[in-house]
Structure 1
Amino acid sequence: MSAIVVFGAGGRAGRAIVAEAAGRGHRVTAVVRDPAKHADLTTTTGVTVVTGDITDAARVAEVSAGHDAVVNAAAELGRPADLVFAGAALALFEGLPRAGVNRLVAIGMAANLEVSPGVRVLDEPDFPAEYLPFALGHTTGLHLLRAAPAELDWVMLSPPMVLDEGPRTGRYRTGGDQVLTPGEPGHLSYADLAIAVLDEIETPKHHRTRIAVGD
């Protein structure tokens, strides 16, 4: 059994990851901005809910101490995405070494996967303009991860643009920096994304890289 911190535990991906981790018998610290809004998380055996901001390096260090791995599923729509994702990366770089944690699994997005060499989903003319700032913010976080200190063993999982509340099938595929099925939207449930995340914690297969994940 491992001890796992999940930042962004109140979101749909975060909740699925918390449930999968607890279901496998791990001890989980679920980090949210307002625990009062997520009291139901505490009803799951092995889950402790705490307050935290992933852009606060001191809090990252405090919350992560005594754990084996950290998951970053956090997002904040109320602040500029580039500041949120850059701030999260920098806080993790500072806070995780202080906590003695070196395994980080981050949730990315499909927008910066390539559809052809050098052309990302977000570069295509039909990419929705309203999603572009968020996608570029995510991309800033990915660039920073790629320059992370050598001792940080990170992996970013980039699921399809749209995930769903479908059942836990136990099936998923992984790839590299390219969309798994060019020309199609792809599919993955939050529950199956959570399986991929926990598999990378329990039996790490990818190190200091970003991978696409889908069905």
Structure 2
Amino acid sequence: MKRIVVFGAGGRAGRRVVAEAASRGHQVTAAGRDTGDVTSADDVARLAAGHDAVVNAAARVDVPAETFFPAAARALVDGLRRAGVSRLVGVGIGTALQTAPGVAVHDAPDFPAPYRAFSLGHVAQLDVLRDADLDWLLLAPPPVVLDDAAPRTGRYRLGDTSVLPGEQAFSYADLAVAIVDQIETPTHHRTMVALGAV
């Protein structure tokens, strides 16, 4: 049994992670905005103390992405160091995956500007994480709208930093499966990888 803190536990991804982890017998601390601020290192340290791993599924639409995601990454790095927790698994974004070497989905000429800003905010956290002494992983689902109602299949595939070929819909439920799997049996470290349907 692992002791896991889930930031963003009230969101669509976070709720699924809490349910998936609890169904496997893990002890889960659900951290929403009312219980802890993921951009506060003090809150992260307080909530993560005594746990084995942390999941970051938090996002804010009322704060610019280029501000929120790096701030959360900095707080997680500092707070987890203080709490003595080394494993962090977060939700990445598929639009940051590459379609060609050095070219992300969000670099397409017709990619909508507001969504590009949100995607770039996600990418900004990578610079923070890469400089940290932390065993982190971001799982980036396909660059499509995730299905909130699709059932859990328990099946998925992992790639690298490129969009997986033939990718279509993917469910929040299977995103949660992959996240909890990477806490139970880590196979990827200090990187962002593509996640998709089988």
Q: Same fold (TM over 0.5)?
A: yes
The match for 1:134 among 118, 140, 147 is 118
Distance 1:77 1:140 in 2: 16
Q: Pick one of 125, 128, 135 that aligns with 1:153.
A: 135
SS across alignment from 2:123? helix
Q: Distance in 2 between matches of 1:202 and 1:134?
A: 30
- For the 8 Å contact 2:53–2:87, the answer to whether it is kept is yes
The separation in 2 between residues aligned to 1:176 and 1:187, in whole angstroms, is 18
CA distance in 2, matches of 1:213, 1:26: 23
- Work out the percentage of aligned pairs sharing the same amino acid: 61
State the partner residue of 2:184. Answer: 202
Instruction: Read off the aligned partner of 2:62 and give its amino acid letter.
Output: G
C-alpha distance after superposition, 1:107-143 (max 9, x if no partner):
1001110001111000001212221111110010122
Structure 2 counterpart SS, 1:13 = helix
Alpha-carbon distance between aligned partners in 2 of 1:76 and 1:139, rounded to the nearest angstrom: 15
Amino acid across the alignment from 1:88: A
TM-score (structure 1 length as normaliser): 0.88
Q: What SS does the aligned partner of 2:174 have?
A: helix
Q: 5+ unaligned residues in a row in structure 1: which ranges?
A: 35-50
The reply to whether residue 163 of structure 1 matches residue 137 of structure 2 is no
Describe the shift of the 1:104–1:18 C-alpha distance in structure 2 as closer, same or farther (beyond 3 A).
same
What amino acid is the match of 2:184?
Answer: E
Give the Cα separation in 2 of the matches to 1:185 and 1:131: 20
Return 5+ residue gaps in structure 2 as ranges: none
Higher relative contact order (CA 8 A, sep 6+): 2
The count of residues paired between Structure 1 and Structure 2 equals: 195
Q: Does 1:23 align with 2:5?
A: no
Matches of 1:178 and 1:74, distance apart in 2: 23
The normalised TM-score by structure 2 is 0.96
User: Partner residue of 1:10?
Assistant: 10
Is structure 2 residue 188 aligned with structure 1 residue 213? no
Are residue 143 (structure 1) and residue 120 (structure 2) matched? Answer: no
